Each structure stands twice: as C-alpha cells, then as structure tokens.
Amino acid sequence: MAKPFVRLTSPFAVMEPPPPPIVQLLIQTDLNAPTSTGVLIHEDLKDLALRAKKTVVKTTVHNLADAMLDMTKCITDQDAQLVQEVYQQAAQMHPILREYQGNWATNCILQAHLKSTSQAAKKVAEAEEAEQLVAAANEVATKRRTRHSVN
C-alpha cells in the first residue's frame, strides 16, 4: 500500500502565498514588455505601407537570387561577384536598401532564402539517393539465384 504524501516543512523556509490568478496571467503575457529597437529589417519597417514595401523588396531579392545564383548552395558557397551583383541590382530597383550600410538587409533576406532553398535541394537529393538504394536493394532481392550464378 502506498504511503500518503506528507509535506515536510522547514522552519528555515519562508512560504509565500501563491499569487492571485490575474498576476499569473499578467506574468504569462507580454503586456509589460517594452519595445526594443532591433537590427532586423522587419523591426525598422513599422508602418503598414512600409511592410508591404518589404514584401516587394523580399520578392525582388528572391527573384534576383533565383535568376543569378545557384539555389542548391548557401550564401557562403556562392560566387562573391554574383552576390554583389544581386546586392547592386536590388539596391538599384529599391532605393530603400541603400539606407542599410554594407547591404546587411539585402544580405539577411538573401541568406535566409538561400538557406531555405539549399536545404530543400539537399532533402530532394537525399530522397532521390534513398530511392536509388531501395531500387538497387529490391533488384538484388528479386534476382534469381542458381547454383551456377556467381553472385
């Protein structure tokens, strides 16, 4: 038979009453969290019209990358001149990108896009390789064996 749970109290431990439910609710929400200035492009573009512009800028950078770069490689494996060309064309099409020193905003968009596409390409390549291995294994398994066959 299991023993009932007995709470041990220590004279050294000071017990505080649990907070009321409203305090717990406020702790779990971000009502009191101050807004911080960030370095990401979505934090700089607060206005709704600028958010729509951000979507257009991202689409432009994605399209330029798709046209000029190898989508199976991440940004560090790309040709640096082609990456600079993407930066220049994006800044030419969208002057707002010139406000960001060192093309860091374009670099963030491009890096995220290339990471996504290179990971997807890697998954496709791994799936194709697995299919080939399964096909080869099935071929070996269905091969008729006789006492005269070598393998």
Task: Please write the tens of the pLDDT for every residue from 47-81.
Answer: 566 677 788 889 999 999 999 999 999 999 999 99
pLDDT tens sequence across 79-126: 999 999 999 999 999 888 888 888 888 998 999 999 999 999 999 999
Maximum distance among all Cα pairs of the chain, rounded to whole angstroms: 87
Domain span at residue 131 reads 45-141
pLDDT given at position 84 = 94
Inside any domain, residue 102: yes
Rounded Cα–Cα distance for residues 122 and 118 (Å): 6
Inside any domain, residue 56: yes
- CA-wise closest residue to 89 among 57, 111, 116: 57
Inside any domain, residue 49: yes
Q: CA quadruple 27, 31, 35, 38: dihedral positive or negative?
A: positive
Q: Which residue has the higher pLDDT, 23 or 60?
A: 60
Q: CA quadruple 18, 19, 25, 29: dihedral positive or negative?
A: negative
pLDDT given at position 115 = 92
Q: Which residue has the higher pLDDT, 92 or 28?
A: 92
Inside any domain, residue 150: no
Q: Which residue has the higher pLDDT, 5 or 84?
A: 84
pLDDT given at position 13 = 57
Inside any domain, residue 137: yes
Q: Any idea what DSSP says for residue 86?
A: H
Inside any domain, residue 124: yes
Domain count, the chain: 1
Inside any domain, residue 112: yes
Contact 68, 62 (CB under 8 A): no
The one-letter code for the residue type at 120 is A
Inside any domain, residue 34: no
pLDDT given at position 62 = 92
